[in-house]
């Protein structure tokens, strides 16, 4: 149970970060209308096309694309067709859309897995496995304590060293 709550907490934090970034984009300079723009930000979040799933969150939840407010003012072909249907035909159409929803979600899950595999391969292309032996010379990355202050100049080295390795350890990650 602890693992699921931790992953849910991570998802909530990721959502909060995304929501804060969206609010920064839609809130005006005064930042006093943040509470008024929350609905707009949530609408943007749920109707934005996601590359990993190749769908919007709204369409994955409800099985249909969201009707944009602009489509209400200037009727689209989709709305014109739906308004011309009888109540029974509309119910049949909605039932068919809901039956296709499981297939759509499965397809989105497969797209997500393909996307993650692609990211995994792209990341691993750039990772070089390096093994050091005792007495090898190594360099260490220079990391300033305060990153906002640029010490040195454009041509200062980003590395410290060389250092001589005193011990060699076998290092690997283990799944928890």
pLDDT at site 107: 93
Q: Is residue 11 part of a domain?
A: yes
Q: Is residue 71 part of a domain?
A: yes
Q: Is residue 175 part of a domain?
A: no
pTM over 0.85: no
pLDDT tens across 102-150, in order? Answer: 899 999 999 999 999 999 999 888 887 778 889 999 888 887 766 566 6
Q: Is residue 80 part of a domain?
A: yes
Token pair for 127: 């990772």
Tally of structural domains, the chain: 1
DSSP per-residue string spanning 11-80:
HHHHHHHHHHHHHHHHS-TT-TTHHHHHHHHHHHHHHSEETTTTEEHHHHHHSSPPPPHHHHHS--HHHH
- 1 pLDDT band, cuts 50/70/90, is very low
pLDDT tens across 10-62, in order? Answer: 778 888 888 888 888 877 666 777 788 888 888 888 888 888 988 888 888 88
Q: Is residue 49 part of a domain?
A: yes
Instruction: Please give the Cα distance from 88 to 129 (Å, whole number).
Output: 63
Parent domain of 75: 2-126
Mean pLDDT of 86-90: 84
């Amino acid at each position: 149970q602890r693992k699921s709550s931790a992953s849910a907490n991570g998802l909530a934090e990721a959502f909060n970060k995304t929501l804060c970034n969206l609010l920064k984009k839609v809130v005006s300079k005064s930042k006093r209308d943040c509470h008024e723009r929350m609905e707009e930000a949530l609408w943007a979040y749920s109707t934005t096309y996601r590359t990993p799933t190749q769908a919007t969150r709204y369409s994955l939840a409800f099985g249909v694309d969201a009707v944009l407010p602009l489509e209400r003012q200037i009727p689209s072909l989709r709305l014109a067709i739906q308004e011309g249907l009888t109540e029974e035909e509309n119910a049949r159409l909605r039932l068919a859309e809901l039956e296709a929803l499981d297939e759509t979600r499965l397809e989105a899950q497969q797209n997500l897995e393909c996307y993650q595999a692609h990211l995994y391969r792209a990341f691993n292309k750039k990772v070089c496995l390096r093994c050091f032996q005792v007495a090898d010379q190594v360099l260490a990355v220079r990391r300033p304590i305060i990153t906002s202050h640029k010490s040195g100049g454009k041509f200062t080295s980003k590395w410290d060293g060389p250092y001589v390795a005193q011990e060699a350890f076998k290092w690997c990650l283990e799944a928890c």
